[in-house]
Structures are given as C-alpha cells and as structure tokens.
Structure 1
Amino acid sequence: MFYNRRMKTLVTGATGFVGGALTHRLHSMGWDVTALGRNPAKLNQLEDGGIRVVRADISKKDEVNASFSDFDLVFHCAALPSPWGRFETFYQANVIGTRNIVNACLEKNVKRLVYVSTPSLYFDYNSRMGVKENDPLPEPISHYAHTKLLAEEEVDKGSAQGLAVVSIRPRALFGEGDTVIFPRLLSRLKTGRLPILGDGENMVDLTYIQNVVDALLLCAESPKSTLGKKYNISNGEPVKIWGLVNRICDELGFPHPSRKISRNAAHYVGGAFEFLYSLIPYSPEPPLTRMSVSMLANSTTLDISAAKNELGYQPKISVEEGVQRFLKWWKETN
C-alpha cells in the first residue's frame, strides 16, 4: 500500500464539487489534508471544520509554489468545467494551472499525483458506447475538452520526468454539492420549458460523487503498474436519461417534458445560439449549446473494466440511491 494517513496530502479545487467531497472524506478518515482553493466563503467553512486551508490561484505560479510545502500526495481536482466561456479563461485554469501543479510536484519531490481529467475528450456530436481509454480521440468539441486534453499532456510530461501519477476520467458526476449537471437540468425542468432532445431513448453513464472519491483513494494506493495511466470511471450502469428525468420530476412535483425536438434540430439550434452569443463580449451561457444537446440526446457510455481490474474499483452507491441522496440534499438546501 502506497499511502498512510501520516503522509501530508494536498487537494486542489477543494472548494469545488469533487475536491470538496474528497477533502471532507479525507478529513473524516483522519488524514493529514490541506485544502487549496479560491472561494473565500467555502474555504472559511472548511477551516471552521478543522481543515487546514491554503488560498491560492493555481494559474499563478508564485502562488502555487508558495502554497506547496512538504506534501507527499497531491490530488489535483481543480478545473473550470463550464460548457461556455472564453478559451483563454479555460486555458489559464486548466492548462497553466495543471502545469504549475505538475512542476511544483516535481520540484518538491511529491511522491504521487492523482489527477482528475474528463471523458469529454472522447466525445464528438455522435453517440459512442463502451468507450475505452485508448480509443482514438476526436477533435475536441468545446474549450473545456480542448484544454483538459492539453492539461493531460502536461501531466504526461511530468510522468516522463519521473513524477508518479495516476489519472481518472469520471463521467457525468452528480450528488450532494453538485453545481453543474443536475442544478442546470432542474432549473430548466422547473419552468416546464425543457423539451425532450432526441428520441428519449438514449442511454448515458452517470457517476455518483462518492464513487468518484472511492476511485481517487484507490489511485492513491494503486500499484506501480498503474502509474502514467488514465482510467474511465462511472457507475457502470447506463440509464435512460429521460426516464430518470421523469422520475426526478415526479419526486419534485415538476411537469414531465413532453415536447420533442429531434437531435439534429436541437444541434442546429444550439449551434445558432453559440454563434449569436459569441458575438457578445463576455456573454452569459447560451440557453442551449451543442455540448448540452450531445449530453441529453446522445448515448454515451464508458468501459470501466480497466479501473475494476487494475485499481480494484467497484461502484458502491447505485444511480438510484445516489439520485435519492441528491434529491434529499436538494430539498434541504433549496
């Protein structure tokens, strides 16, 4: 076993969804953990809970170097995951930030880096089923996917220089604390304005947040044979997304989506919105993007056999139980 709780651990992105869940788990298990992030309110909450915090912007090399001490293990969870924004903003957060973390790990002789990447690298605007880690990658369809691909290259450079690193690509994360997928979906469902995109029969992989945390912990203690590798992570139980949407609507008293828009028509509308909003400097996120259409209208699943066989990963919380936990949290906080 690589890790023991006396070793010093840093979590980047600790005020985000993944990093926050990981930080709380590590602290509850008695690990010597430091939380790095930028959100002052959330950092204060972590500090009030007895967790050591570091305020730093990972895109700034000096701040990263100043925040590193004698860490043995680093979980790099920080990223900008939005479906919309300026390329330079994504580049600074995802590429420069990762470069700074990797270089700091090398300079400070960190024993292992665990990196959170994304399966967005795999997807174009078509359905893809059972995607494996070594399948050919298409041209990135978003600034997020593009910069996360470049970030993986930064991690690979670190690996080539002797940094022990393991990466995961978790698919469509959800659960308590989610600020990206389900909240966006619920805001549209509540108004009754969300149509069914596609035929309503598409299958998707989801990943409950605590299963992702389990995967990260496994990466911290995985054998040397896993170093330098990337692993797909999901719940391993594809679901019909629109059937799940209807169950959520029933639970929250929202109307079921009833209107249907074909995948091709929705794709065209999303592209038109993107074009129009790109003409507006610092525009907000469009009401529909081609990336969101792809998520809601296409079938997208991952092959997670490598994670099972090489990391010992087994999803413990089902999609159904995870959704119930999310809804309980959502009702309490909204």
Structure 2
Amino acid sequence: MALNIIMKILLTGATGGLGYRTLEQLISNVQIEKIIATGRIIRPTHFVEHSKVSYELGELEEENFVSELVKQVDCIVHAAALSSPWGKYSAFEKANLFTMKNLIKAAKKHHIKRFVYVSTPSLYFNGKDRFDVSESDELPKKFINAYSKTKYEAEIEIENSGIPFIILRPRALIGRGDTIIMPRLIRAFQEGKLKIIGDGKNIVDLTSLANVADAIELSLFVGFEGINQTYNITNGQPVKLWETIDKVLSLLGYRMSNQRVPYSIVKLVSQIMELKAKLTNYAEPALTTYGVGILAKSFTMDISKAQKLLGYTPKISTNEAIEEFVNWYIQNERS
C-alpha cells in the first residue's frame, strides 16, 4: 500500500546539486507539508525559498543534532555523502557510515515511516567494461575505493535496520546545479589536462538530476511492492562519453583535442601516483585508478527493476540535461 499521508521530510545533502533539485521537486507535491533541509553551507545557486522548506545546517556526525532533526519528520531522504575517488577510509567511514548509523538510531527512536537512501553505482566498478549491470549482479570482492566501500556498508546498515527503506543507485548526475562531474571535466580541459583515454568509443549511462529527484519522490510514495528494494537509476539512453564531453565543451565555446592516450599507460601512471600518495601525505593524486577507469571504460546499467516496481520513467533526456547544465553554468559558475 502506498503512503498517502501528509508528509514531513528530512532531506540531507539539501545544499548540494541533487538536494537542491530534490527540494524543487518535492515542494510541488501537495502531500508533502514540510521539508527540513540540512547541509553544511548554503550556496546562493542552490537555495530554495519556500514556505515548506526550513534549512537547519549542521554536522550529521553529531548524534544530538541528528536526533533533533529526525524528531520533526515522518520520512528521511539521505542524499548527503563524502564523495571522492581518493581519501583515507577513516574520513569516509565518519562521513558515510557513522552518519547513517546516527540517522538509523534516530529513525528508530522517532518511528520514521520510510528511509530513502541515495547510494552509488561506483560499487559495481571492477575496472572492466560492463553492460546492463543489474542490482542483483555480483559485486567486486574488493571495492575500488573507500567511498564505494563505505556507501555499500551504509546500504547494509539500512537494509538490516528494520526500517522500511529504498536504496537508489543513480549513475553520473548531470544537469542544472551540477558542481561535480561536468565542472571537473571543464576545469581539467582549461588546465590542459583533459585527454581522451583509450579509443574514445566507450559507452556510459548518465542521469539527469531531475530524473533522480523524480525517483526520490516516487520512492517516498511507492506501495508495498516497491519498498525494501535497491534500484539502479539512469536516463536509460547510453551515450558515447567523449562525444558527450565534446558537446558540452563545444556549447561553451571550447574545442577539444582529438589526442588520445593509451589506457594501459594512464592506468599505470595512476597506480604509481596512488602508491606515492600512500607513502607520503596521502594527498589526492592528479590521476586515480578509479577516475581513469571511469573515463576509459564502458559502463551501463539495467533500470528495468525501477521501471517495473518504482514506476520510474526518465523524463529528461541527456541532451536536455546537457543544455540546462550549460545555460546554468554560463550564468552561475563560469568565471
């Protein structure tokens, strides 16, 4: 049976790109009465002013702060995370695992009706081309980095909590409000560091921020058959990665070189850089094995489960997401 009550929702990570777009999505739903939006800082470009929205900034690592937030709501959408291809396990454990434990403890205490967790498909990564990966496919025996490991550990925590849950694994978020994927690639290009790795023909899934926000809303209201499940979320239309990057750069007036670098060489360099970082100050190297693999390998996911059980249908195409990102970037981020 679907939830059809008037909801009060806690949204973590509300000041980031996905949180911002999720707030925009949820405020128009008449069944949602109030949204407690939490994060660390508010950026003017990611702020939603509405009578339903109340911002309460703080650290999710603080148990008392979390409990005070959760006691005001019925449901939790947990989109906050430390997301990086590099770093010590302890930092990710604190940000991604301990915060989940705090939220679960508070959720049990205050009888939360539903918990939507935004996880990551990076835990599927095994360094090889992968096509139509499903939620039931076997995971790597060793995760590629601490981010993937702690996100999966957090998934296990919510699965074993006894709280009705939905886990979403959205792939490569793009669109208006994106401060991560495309901006990083643009900076790399501007610094002369962006080169095509491999043959440049790798195919990947991307996901509009608007589509993920829609999946989150569906998760809050889906009936019994859709809860306690994990879902892949993408645009459902794989694209050639380097053609897409080139399109974004072209719309911004840049021209990308066709220069290619063999994957094997770049991977070896990244491994050497990672080893050096581990032996010195652990600062993030210019190249990481995961980052190189993401840019060089094909990776697509099967979203049929989300379509069938969650009622998910991608509404915003990749081209539409690119256009809205470029327009937003020119207005707000471009220096």
Please indicate the TM-score interval, normalised by the length of the shorter structure: over 0.9
Report which stretch shifted further, 12-21 or 293-302: 12-21
**Offset of 1:166 from its aligned partner?**
0.9
**Alignment deviations for residues 20-61 of structure 1 (CA, whole Å, 9 cap, x no partner):** 22123223445311101121x349974855421222211222
Matches within 5 A, 1:92-103: 92-103=94-105
Q: Which residue of 2 aligns with 1:81?
A: 83
Poorly superposed stretches of 4+, deviation over 4 Å: 43-50
Cα deviation for residue 3 of structure 1 reads 4.0
- The 10-residue stretch of structure 1 (299-308 or 287-296) with the greater mean CA deviation from structure 2: 287-296
- The percent of aligned pairs where both chains have the same amino acid is 37
CA distance, structure 1, for counterparts of residue 293 and residue 282 of structure 2: 24
Partners of 2:254 and 2:191 lie apart in 1 by: 8
2:35 counterpart of 1:36: no
Identify unmatched segments of 5+ residues in structure 2: none
CA contact (8 A) 1:206 1:235 kept: yes
Residue in 2 aligned with 1:239?
Answer: 239
Report matched runs for 1:1-334 at 5 Å: 2-4=2-4, 6-29=6-29, 31=32, 32-39=34-41, 41-42=42-43, 46=47, 49-50=50-51, 51-138=53-140, 139-158=142-161, 161=162, 163-281=163-281, 283=283, 285-333=284-332, 334=334
- Checking the alignment, whether the CA contact within 8 Å between 1:196 and 1:258 is kept in structure 2 is yes
Deviation at residue 262 of structure 1 after TM alignment: 1.4
Range that drifts further, 304-313 or 183-192: 183-192
Q: Deviations over 1:236-287 (max 9, x none)?
A: 110001111221222112221322111111111111121222334362x322
Per-residue displacement from partner, 1:139-186 (whole Å, max 9, x unpaired)? 20011101101111111111xx2x111111000111112121111101
- SS of residue paired to 1:268: helix
* CA contact 1:59–1:92 (8 Å) conserved in 2: yes
AA aligned to 1:269 is V
Q: Is residue 192–residue 257 contact of structure 1 (8 Å, CA) maintained in 2?
A: no
TM-superposed CA distance for 1:192, in Å, is: 3.5
Q: For residue 160 of structure 2, give the secondary structure of its aligned residue in structure 1.
A: helix
Distance 1:195 1:301 in 2: 22
Aligned residue for 1:55, secondary structure, equals: coil
CA RMSD after TM alignment: 1.9
CA 1:154/1:43 → structure 2, altered by over 3 Å: closer, same or farther? farther
State the SS of the aligned residue for 1:270: helix
What amino acid sits opposite 1:322 in the alignment? A
Q: What's the CA shift for 1:228?
A: 1.5
Moved more, 184-193 or 211-220: 184-193
Q: Distance in 2 between matches of 1:45 and 1:231?
A: 26
CA distance in 1, matches of 2:112, 2:181: 33
Classify 1:46/1:242 alpha carbon distance in 2 versus 1 (closer, same or farther; 3 Å). closer
TM-score (norm. length: structure 1): 0.93
Alpha-carbon distance between aligned partners in 2 of 1:206 and 1:45, rounded to the nearest angstrom: 21
SS in 1 for 2:111: coil
- SS across alignment from 2:27: helix
10-19 or 294-303, larger mean C-alpha shift: 10-19
2:69 & 2:29 partners in 1: Cα distance? 23
Q: What SS does the aligned partner of 1:317 have? A: coil
CA contact (8 A) 1:273 1:288 kept: yes
Counterpart contact for 2:46–2:177, Cα < 8 Å: no
Range with bigger deviation, 6-15 or 207-216: 6-15
| TM-score, with length taken from structure 2 | 0.93
The residue type paired with residue 151 of structure 2 is K
